[in-house]
């Protein structure tokens, strides 16, 4: 008979919102499993395990910002709950006050909402259950399944043994129940210094699974108050102890964990079995690993503290806040998570695949604008001085409903310096002396001359235009191999463009030479800031507005924007690594 004090537990509701098994179908009505986790869940439903319920949870620790790896777990848990007519909780695993802050709680909630998921009224914290966890621990002590140990953390590691050698029992393992109860209560009351005592489960010091060798359940933490509980507690549960209890109290049916917790599952089961309480099913899946990316929060925090990046939301970071600031659409991230799916073995996904889905979404949704990143003045010699035309430009060729806009055209323009070469090589088809090109939405122009400064640098390109080619088509049928983007010098605005690249040069940032560290793989050119010229309508851009700068890439308006100087971040370039993507998708 297990311990279950219903007066102290916040019970899960077994009936409201529960669907009959026959109605809990995959949204596409397919009986074929999508992946091994969904297959397990379908089997559980068919066998009426958990009464046909499906209840998952996403349990982040509030000790940092969420990253793209967390997005995979969020997507998996919320989507599975949706598919099977179930529920998904948001629960903060706030069991270590030395690393947790309230600001991370709010940031995590913002990220999950941004991805489009809603935990409704099911927001929980591990700290909600600290009283109940304490009572559970007392129950194990009374049943001689837990004891207070005076070994130091280092001594516990030494006594633990190795994969090939059994551990040694603590000299405090056989304390009496009465002594353990007294010491544990005094630990709770703050009578002992940090690190002096722990509460450990009494299992098997010779177990081949090191996690079963009398694991620590509680440790003393006194110096730092808890972000919610304040100074009420001086002892805090370890993850292994708290994890299963939280799942059980909330009535979770399927506890989806990353693969490193597979060896912890016997401990998860042992605690729940000893207490005789609701026992969810833990299922492990491979976490997301991606090229050019580090996802360890320890490293990410180091990036921030050392000033390697500008903050947790730096667009070079793999955090969801960073990706949001970079202009990544949440829809693209969710599609990426859906395509890569879940597996039982670890693998590495090319970051180009994520970028592909970002481009795909932005191509369909982003309005087009013209911006010149490296301005070079172009003067049309035969265009009337003082004259201005307004030309019609398409906002988004992928979406006719976005309509058109008017852009000013005048005698003096800016083109991109990379679009001109005085002595062109064989494969350069853009503007050069004597060559004619098309200006987007405007006219054909031919280069007649260049103007240089006293250092021999080209500062101005002289051209003539053909008035009958307005709109970019020649009545005589002649063609131009390229079309250049441009802005009117008299009407353009100044903008700041931040060209973000990958933070690391190596596909595996943690593969570095002996004697160095990950910083040896940092990309010194991961950020370039440029003062650019843009068409005037961009002065009305709002923070978060996304655009395709024609022939350049996709950009988003940054929060650092000022009234007289909009700031735009590069999301992704127009180039797509099709070779790798096709290989992955075929």
Which residues are catalytically annotated?
61, 287, 297
Q: E-assigned strands of 263-343?
A: 281-285
The CA distance from 269 to 243, in Å, is 11
Between CA 117 and CA 111 the distance in angstroms is 9
Tokens, residue 259: 């693969």
Alpha helices, DSSP H, located in 446-563? none
Nearest to 581 by CA among 399, 335, 367, 396: 335
Instruction: Name which of 560, 478, 505, 493 is nearest 533 in CA terms.
Output: 493
CA distance 389 to 471: 12
d(CA 210, CA 221): 24
DSSP assignments along 187-207, one per residue: HHTT-S-TTS-EEEE-S-TT-
Q: Report yes or no: 93 and 245 within 8 Å, Cβ to Cβ.
A: no
- Do residues 318 and 303 touch, judged by C-beta distance below 8 A? no
Which residues lie across from 319 on neighbouring strands? 67
- Residues 380, 445: contact at Cβ < 8 Å? yes
- The token pair that represents 370 in the structure block: 């013209």
Q: Measure the CA–CA gap between 494 and 531, rounded to whole angstroms.
A: 7
Q: How far is CA 415 from the centre of its chain?
A: 36
Of 356, 306, 316, nearest to 523 (Cα)? 316
Straight-line distance from the first to the last Cα atom of the chain, in angstroms, rounded to the nearest whole number: 54
3-state SS class at 235: strand
What's the length of the chain?
586
Question: Which string of DSSP letters, residue by residue, matches 200-240?
Answer: EE-S-TT-SSGGGSS-EEEEE--SS-BTTTBTS-SEEE-HH
Contact 366, 402 (CB under 8 A): no
Looking at the DSSP bridge assignments, the partners of residue 349 are 290
């Amino acid at each position: 008979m297990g311990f279950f004090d219903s007066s102290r537990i916040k019970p899960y509701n077994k009936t409201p919102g529960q669907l009959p098994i026959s109605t809990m179908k995959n949204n596409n009505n397919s009986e074929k499993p999508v992946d091994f986790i969904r297959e397990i869940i379908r089997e559980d439903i068919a066998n009426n395990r958990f009464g046909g319920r499906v209840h998952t949870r996403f349990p982040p620790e509030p000790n940092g910002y969420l990253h793209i790896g967390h997005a995979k777990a969020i997507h998996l848990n919320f989507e599975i709950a949706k598919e099977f007519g179930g529920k998904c909780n948001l629960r903060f695993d706030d069991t270590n006050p030395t690393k947790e802050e309230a600001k991370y709680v709010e940031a995590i909630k913002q990220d999950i909402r941004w991805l489009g998921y809603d935990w409704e009224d099911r927001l929980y914290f591990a700290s909600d259950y600290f009283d109940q966890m304490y009572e559970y621990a007392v129950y194990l002590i009374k049943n001689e399944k837990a004891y207070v140990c005076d070994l130091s953390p280092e001594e516990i590691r030494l006594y633990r043994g190795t994969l090939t050698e059994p551990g040694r029992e603590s000299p405090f393992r056989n304390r009496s129940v009465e002594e353990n109860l007294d010491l544990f209560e005094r630990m709770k009351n703050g009578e002992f210094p940090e690190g002096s005592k722990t509460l450990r489960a009494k299992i098997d010091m010779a177990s081949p699974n090191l996690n079963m060798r009398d694991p620590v359940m509680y440790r003393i933490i006194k110096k730092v108050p808890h972000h919610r509980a304040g100074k009420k507690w001086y002892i805090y549960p370890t993850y292994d102890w708290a994890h299963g209890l939280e799942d059980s109290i909330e009535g979770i049916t399927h506890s989806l964990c990353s693969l490193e917790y597979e060896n912890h599952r016997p401990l998860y089961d042992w605690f729940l079995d000893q207490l005789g309480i609701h026992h969810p099913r833990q299922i492990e899946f491979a976490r997301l690993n991606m090229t050019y990316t580090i996802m360890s929060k320890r490293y990410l925090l180091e990036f921030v503290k050392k000033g390697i990046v500008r903050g947790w939301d730096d667009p070079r970071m793999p955090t969801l806040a960073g990706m949001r600031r970079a202009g990544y659409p949440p829809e693209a991230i969710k599609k990426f998570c859906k395509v890569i799916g879940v597996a039982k073995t670890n693998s590495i996904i090319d970051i180009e695949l994520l970028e592909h889905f970002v481009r795909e979404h932005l191509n369909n949704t982003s309005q087009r604008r013209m911006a010149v990143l490296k301005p070079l003045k172009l003067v049309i010699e035969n265009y009337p001085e003082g004259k201005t035309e307004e030309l019609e430009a398409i906002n988004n060729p992928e979406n006719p409903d976005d309509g058109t806009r008017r852009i000013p055209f005048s005698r003096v323009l800016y083109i991109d310096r990379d679009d001109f070469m005085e002595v062109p090589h064989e494969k350069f088809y853009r503007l050069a002396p004597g060559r004619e090109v098309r200006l987007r939405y405007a006219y054909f122009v031919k280069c007649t001359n260049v103007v240089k400064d006293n250092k021999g640098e080209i500062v101005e390109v002289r051209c003539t235009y053909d008035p009958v080619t307005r709109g970019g088509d020649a009545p005589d049928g002649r063609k131009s191999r390229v079309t250049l983007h441009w802005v009117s010098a008299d009407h353009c605005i100044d903008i700041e463009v931040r060209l973000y690249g990958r933070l690391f040069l190596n596909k595996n940032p943690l593969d570095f030479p002996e004697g160095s560290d990950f910083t040896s793989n940092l990309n010194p050119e991961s950020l370039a800031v440029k003062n650019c010229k843009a068409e005037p309508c961009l002065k009305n851009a709002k923070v978060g507005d996304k655009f395709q700068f024609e022939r350049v890439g996709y950009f988003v308006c940054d929060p650092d924007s000022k009234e007289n100087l909009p700031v735009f971040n590069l999301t992704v370039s127009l180039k797509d690594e099709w070779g790798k993507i096709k290989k992955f998708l075929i």
